[in-house]
Amino acid sequence: MALAPGAAAAVILGVLGLVMGSFANVLIYRVPEGRSIVRPASGCPACGARVRSRDNIPVISWLVLGGHCRDCHAPISVRYPAVEALVGALFAGVGLRFGISWTGVGEAALAAGLVVLAFIDLDHLLLPRRIVYLTLTIVAAVFVAGAATGTQWHRLLVAVMSAVVPWALFFVINFVSPRAMGFGDVRLALLIGFGLGWLGAGYAFLGFLAASVLGSVVGVTMIALGKAGRRTPIPFGTFLAAGALLAALAGAPIVNWYSTLLH
């Protein structure tokens, strides 16, 4: 049951998303390096000066400072505010689509985790298991609570089945050819299948299909442009995350159309 409908939920979750986007940047930067996400406090990558509280407002602080450190004036990558804005926009989209509900909270948590994983995989060809499992734990806890309070156990069952099937398929691919698919993608399939399966098995299928199409189009384009070869590794986790987010936020017309055909 939604606590706040439409636009109000979009604003509330959007603001929360901006804050989560700032934390997402910390995870993206520190987790692959094995550093603590708590200490030390955020600082300038160039001079090490600690970021002041007034300079730590998502997106706005970067704009006010002109994209430079207040102390040494070194440029600060535009990706920091871009990630904050992206998570904020995704949270707003979740709020608009699902309201502030068990589904909305769970899908927002999924979106935040997928953004972190997408950028880490893009940078390092790595999908840290602790990010995958932490996100899965949060999403599962939210949906179990939603199933219990709303007597929607059938949705939870569909989510579990939607997680197990792609996980098993990806596991087999990894077992047969580890070079074709890393085990990080296997873990990620479990998370995505569960997160989208709560919305319906059709959403999970659409998410994986969209990821395959996106990966193929980008891969073929890069090969055609001479930017990559047939054996160049690609961050498939990034495409899996993109496909999942597209399915969750924009997949309803396609899923509904397909369901109409079946019936």
Band (19; pLDDT cuts 50, 70, 90): very high
Residues 106 and 209 in one domain: yes
With 80 as the cut, is the pLDDT of residue 3 above it?
A: no
Torsion of CA 113, 119, 121, 123, to 10 degrees: -150
Residues 119 and 73 in one domain: no
Domains in the chain: how many in total?
A: 2
Residues 29 and 156 in one domain: no
Residues 204 and 94 in one domain: no
In this prediction the pTM is 0.94
Residues 13 and 60 in one domain: yes
CA-to-CA dists, residue 239 to 183, 212, 250, angstroms: 15, 7, 16
pLDDT digits (tens, 9 = 90+) for 37-82: 888 888 877 787 788 888 889 999 999 999 998 888 889 899 999 9
Amino acid making up residue 45: P
Q: What average pLDDT does the segment 92-113 reach?
A: 96
Residues 58 and 121 in one domain: no
pLDDT digits (tens, 9 = 90+) for 141-185: 999 999 999 878 999 999 999 999 999 999 999 999 988 899 999
Residues 157 and 90 in one domain: no
Strand partners for 75: 68
Least confident of 109-113, 116-120, 180-184: 180-184
With 80 as the cut, is the pLDDT of residue 240 above it?
A: yes
CA atoms of 169 and 162, how far apart (whole Å): 11
Residues 95 and 195 in one domain: no
> So what's the pLDDT on residue 31?
95
> So what's the pLDDT on residue 259?
80
Can you give the residue range of the structural domain that contains 41? 1-100
Amino acid making up residue 4: A
CA atoms of 204 and 190, how far apart (whole Å): 10
Average pLDDT of the chain, as a whole number: 92
